[in-house]
Copies of this chain bind each other. A is one copy, B any other.
Amino acid sequence: MPNRISVVGGTGALGGALALRYARAGLAVTIGSRDAVRAAAAAAKIAADAGCGQVTGLDNRAAAAAGDIVFVTVPFSSQEETLKAVRDACRGKIVVDTTVPLVPPKVARVQLPAQGSAAQIAAELLGPDVRVVSGLHNISATKLGMPGDPGCDVLVFGDDVDARGAIVDSLGGIGLRAFHAGPLANSAAAEAMTSVLISINKRHQVKDGAGIRITGPDLE
């Protein structure tokens, strides 16, 4: 039986796009928001856009409780508050943190946190009972939400190799080319790359957002 997917912070652009992609694949998705009414409205819109799938909206904590895999898609400034709110509901589950540690207003400048990466902050906040994975740092919401190949790859990080593999497979199931990219410490590479892509977007006026592809003769 496929996993039930929850998207905490699913009323945002990235979370909504991710939920839409999972709904199109026919999976049951629960949208979380601080406000359950907003979550329900977002869920209804995503269900309508997808034309299929079962999409529900709940408050973040209830959404986390409803899922087998819990994606967290909130801004860096909300990461700590959000993870503390859902922590107990995530025991024993895989949590995929997608936080990019951008520090406004200079979002095109890499400003990694003292802990190394937002993924390592998530692991500290969630504790050893949660299987923390990170990913989806380098794909724009626009590309994630469109059907088919987004034209870029997705890097997945985690110290728990089985949890990481479950996410690589799950993302593969919704049409994303996902790579095992090493331990949580390596998440710094993708988190920092987001600021590089923002730099390139500005300079080259890439409206859908630049992405990255991993290339190599044995990877075609």
Q: Which residues of A contact B (CB under 8 A)?
A: 108-112, 116, 151-152, 155, 179-183, 185-186, 188-190, 192-193, 195-197, 199-201, 203-219
Residues of B within 8 A of A210 (CB): 214-216, 219
| Complex: chain B residue closest to A112, CB-CB | B188
A-B contact pairs, 15 of them (CB 8 A): A110-B189, A152-B215, A182-B195, A182-B196, A189-B189, A189-B195, A200-B216, A200-B219, A204-B219, A205-B218, A206-B216, A206-B218, A207-B218, A211-B216, A212-B215
CB-contact partner of A190 in B108, B196, B219, under 8 A: B196
CB-contact partner of A189 in B192, B205, B206, under 8 A: B192
Whether the pair B215, A215 counts as a contact (CB closer than 8 A) is no
CB distance from A175 to the nearest CB of B (A): 15
